[in-house]
Amino acid sequence: MSVTFKSLSELLEKIETTKKRLEIIEQTANYLKTLSAQEIEPSTNMMVGRAFPKYSQKTLDVSWSTLTRIFERISVFDWDFFRQAMAATGDIGSATKAVLEQTKAKKQTQLTQKPLTITEVRITLDAIAQAQGSGSRTKKERLITTLMSQAEPVEAKYLVKIFTGEMRTGLHEGLMEQAVARAFNVPLGRVQHAAMVLGDIGEVAELLKTQGSEGFEKAGFTVFRPVKLMLAQTARSVQEALTEHGGKSAFEYKYDGARVQIHKQDGRVEVFSRRLSEVTGSLPEIVDAIKQNIPAQSIIVEGEVISLDSAGYPIAFQHLMRRFRRVRDISGMEKKIPLTLYLFDILYLNGESLISQPYLQRRQILAQNVGKIPLTNQIITDQQTQAEGFLKEAITAGHEGLMAKKPDSPYTPGRRGKRWLKIKVILDTLDLVITAAEYGYGRRKGWLSDYYLAARDPESGGFLELGKTFKGLTDAEIIEITKRLKESSIEQDGHRVIVIPKIVVEVAYNEIQQSPRYKSQMALRFARITRIRDDKTPEEADTIERVREIYERQFRNKGKYNSG
Ligand code: AMP
C-alpha cells in the first residue's frame, strides 16, 4: 500500500504542536518504519522542508507570487482572511491552510478524488524542477495547479512549505538524524557521519532500509556530491586565536572572495559554491587550471577564488559575484573579471577520505597534488608579533584579514567551530536577512529601498527584526533587489511589503541598542548594508544569540547606562 501524503502532513501537524524533542523523535522514527524503500528518502527530505536530497542541484524555482496566482485560479482565495491568518500564525503554510479550509466549508465540496501519495508528490516535484527553457513557466504552473487541486488544505499547507522552503515545524535536521538512528537502531554518531559523507539524511535512511547496517557502515564520500563546508568563528585578535589553539596557529591570508569546493574524477571537473550549488559553467578558467595541474584520478579540494585588478589588488566582492552568477557570454567576463584560485584544503584523494588527518598534513598532501596552483599564503607561528605583522601585510595587500587554523585539527564538515578563526580588522558586521521592505520616496519612488533586517532565531526557526536601513546599496542593486523582493512578497501593508526571508545582507552598524520597538528588544544603530551575500542562505545568517552576545560585550569597554 502506498503511503499517502496526507499521513505525512498529519504527522507534521502533530509535530508542529509538540514542543518535546523526544516525542518528535519518537513519532518521526515510528513513521519512518512504515515507509517503503522508495518512499523513505523523499519523505525524510520533505519532512525537513526539502523537495529533493540536500546535495541535489535540482530546484523548484517557484515563487510565492506564482503559488498565489494558482490558488486564486483554483479556489476563492480570500486575501483579507489570509492576512488575518498570517498575522495570527506568522506562517504562510498555516495561513494558506486556513483560507482553503474556509473556502472548502463554503463550497461544501465532496472529496471523491484519489488521495495523493508520497511517490506521486515526488514525481510531480521532479517534473516541476525539470521544466526548463522556453514554455517552462506554463508547464510548471500546469503541474502545480494539478497538484494543488488534488491537495486537501492540510496537504496544501505542507506543499506550500516545501515550495517556499519554510518548513518551521521544529523537526530540524538534527532531530531527523536522531529519528533515523532510532528507527533503524543504529548509533547517532554513525548516522551523522553517513549523512555528512553522503550529503543527505534521506539517503542514509534509504541505505539503512535497503542494505541494513552493513551497507551503511561502508558509506563514503562520493565525488561530485558536495560536502558541507567547514566554517569559522570570529576572533578579535591574533592573540585570542593563539590562545584558543593552544599557543600555535597556521595563519593564512583571508581573501575576500568566494569559496569553492572542487571535485575531479578522471577527466571531469565540477565546482561548487559556498551554498553547494554547481557553478562549473561560470568558471571555465578554474576548470582548465584543475585539469592542467591536478593529475589525481579522484580528488576533492577547497579554495577561495578572487579577482585581482591590473595592479594586483583584489576587486570588490560584489563585482566578483557577477562572475558566479553569469552563465552566458563567459568569455567576455573572463577578460573583464579574471579569476585567481588559492587552494587551502583537501578532503579526499583517490578513494580515501582525508578529513580526520591533521590540517598541516592535509596541506602537505594538497601541495603535492595541485601542480602550479597556488596555496593560500600561510605562516605557522607561536609568536604574536609575527602574526600581527602578517595581519598587517594581508591588509596592506588589500585582503580582509587572517584565518587562523589549529594545526592538528581535522576537517569538520558543516561545523562552525573554533578550530578555524577569522580575524578581520574592519567594523563589526552581521549577516542578516531581509524580512520586509518599504517603498522609497522621491527618486526612489517605485523601488523597495528601505529594508527590515532580522537575525535568525534557531529556537523558532524564524527571524527577529533588529532594524531598518535604506543605506548602502547602489541604484542598480536596489532595482534588482526590488524585483527579487516582489517575487517573494507575502503581503503588502500600505508602503510595507512583507517577504519570505531569503536574501542575506552583510550589515555594518555603530552600536547595538536596547529597544522596545522590536520583538528582539534590540536595535542596530546606524545600520548600513555593506554587501549582498548571495553566497549565504538564510540558515547561515547570524543568530539572535550572537547579536545578544555582541550587545553584552559592548559594555566591557564602556559604561553601561542603566535606565532602570
Ligand atoms: P566568513 O564568510 O566571513 O564566515 O569567513 C569564512 C570564509 O572566508 C570562508 O568560507 C572562505 O570563503 C573565506 N576564506 C578566505 N581565505 C580563506 C582561507 N585562507 N582559509 C579558509 N577560508 C578562507
pLDDT in tens, 371-396: 999 999 999 999 999 999 999 899 88
- Ligand 1 first shell, C-beta below 6 A: 231-232, 252-255, 259, 304, 344, 376, 403, 422
563 phi and psi, to 5 degrees? -80, -15
Distance 382 CA to ligand 1 centre (A): 21
pLDDT at 563: 34
Distance 274 CA to ligand 1 centre (A): 10
pLDDT at 558: 40
pLDDT at 93: 94
Q: In this model, does residue 123 exceed pLDDT 70?
A: yes
Q: Which of 144, 89, 155 is nearest to 116 (CA)?
A: 155
pLDDT at 305: 96
Q: Which of 538, 312, 556 is nearest to 431 (CA)?
A: 538
Please give the average per-residue pLDDT across 390-403, as a whole number. 89
Which of these is catalytic: 54, 140, 209, 254?
254
Residue 426 — pLDDT band, cuts 50, 70, 90? low
Task: Kindly report, residue by residue over 508-535, the tens digit of the pLDDT.
Answer: 987 788 888 899 999 998 899 999 999 8
User: By alpha-carbon position, which residue is closest to atom 18 of ligand 1?
Assistant: 254
pLDDT at 557: 45
Three-state secondary structure readout of 372-438? CCCECCEEEECCHHHHHHHHHHHHHCCCCEEEEECCCCCCCCCCEEEEEEEEECCCCEEEEEEEEEE
pLDDT at 14: 97
Q: In this model, does residue 559 exceed pLDDT 60?
A: no
The CATH number that domain 5-164 falls under is: 1.10.3260.10
pLDDT at 289: 97
Computed over every residue of the chain, the mean pLDDT equals 91
Query: What DSSP string runs through 307-343?
Result: -B-TTSPBPPHHHHHHHHH--SSHHHHHHHS--EEEE
Residue, of 57 and 556, whose pLDDT is higher:
57
Distance 224 CA to ligand 1 centre (A): 22
Task: Kindly report, residue by residue over 72-117, the tens digit of the pLDDT.
Answer: 988 888 888 998 898 888 889 999 999 999 887 666 555 557 899 9
User: By alpha-carbon position, which residue is closest to atom 9 of ligand 1?
Assistant: 259
User: By alpha-carbon position, which residue is closest to atom 17 of ligand 1?
Assistant: 254
Please give the average per-residue pLDDT across 220-224, as a whole number. 92
Residue 431 — pLDDT band, cuts 50, 70, 90? very high
Query: Structural domain boundaries of the chain?
Result: 5-164, 231-424, 429-553
Q: In this model, does residue 296 exceed pLDDT 70?
A: yes
Q: In this model, does residue 189 exceed pLDDT 70?
A: yes
DSSP 368: H
For the record, the C-alpha cell of 31 comes out as: 513513521
Whether residue 254 lies in the annotated active site: yes
CA dihedral 365, 264, 132, 45 (to 10 degrees): -60
Distance 553 CA to ligand 1 centre (A): 24
Residue 322 — pLDDT band, cuts 50, 70, 90? confident
DSSP SS3 for 469 = strand
User: By alpha-carbon position, which residue is closest to atom 12 of ligand 1?
Assistant: 259
Q: Which of 254, 395, 406, 419, when mutated, tests ligand 1's pocket best, judged by the most ligand atoms within 8 Å of its CB?
A: 254
Distance 254 CA to ligand 1 centre (A): 6
Structure pTM?
Answer: 0.78
For 318, residues 6+ apart whose C-beta sits below 8 A from its C-beta are: 477, 531, 532
506: left (phi over 0), alpha (psi -120 to 50) or beta: beta
Please give the average per-residue pLDDT across 277-295, as a whole number. 95
d(CA 495, CA 215): 57
d(CA 278, CA 193): 23
Helix (H) or strand (E) holding 266: none
Task: Kindly report, residue by residue over 459-488, the tens digit of the pLDDT.
Answer: 888 899 999 999 999 999 999 999 999 998
DSSP 226: P
Q: In this model, does residue 272 exceed pLDDT 70?
A: yes
- Which class does domain 429-553 fall in? mainly beta
d(CA 298, CA 68): 46
What are the angstrom distances between the C-alpha of 126 and each of 23, 56, 122, 154, 325? Answer: 32, 11, 6, 21, 24
For 174, residues 6+ apart whose C-beta sits below 8 A from its C-beta are: none
pLDDT at 107: 60
The minimum-distance atom of ligand 1 relative to the CA of 376 is 19
Residue, of 14 and 490, whose pLDDT is higher:
14
The minimum-distance atom of ligand 1 relative to the CA of 258 is 12
In CATH, 231-424 is 3.30.470.30:
yes
Q: In this model, does residue 148 exceed pLDDT 90?
A: yes
What are the angstrom distances between the C-alpha of 462 and each of 56, 194, 475, 479? Answer: 25, 28, 29, 27
340 phi and psi, to 5 degrees? -125, 135
d(CA 373, CA 116): 52
pLDDT at 114: 87
Assess contact for 70 and 151: CB atoms under 8 A. no
pLDDT at 386: 97
263 phi and psi, to 5 degrees? -115, 135
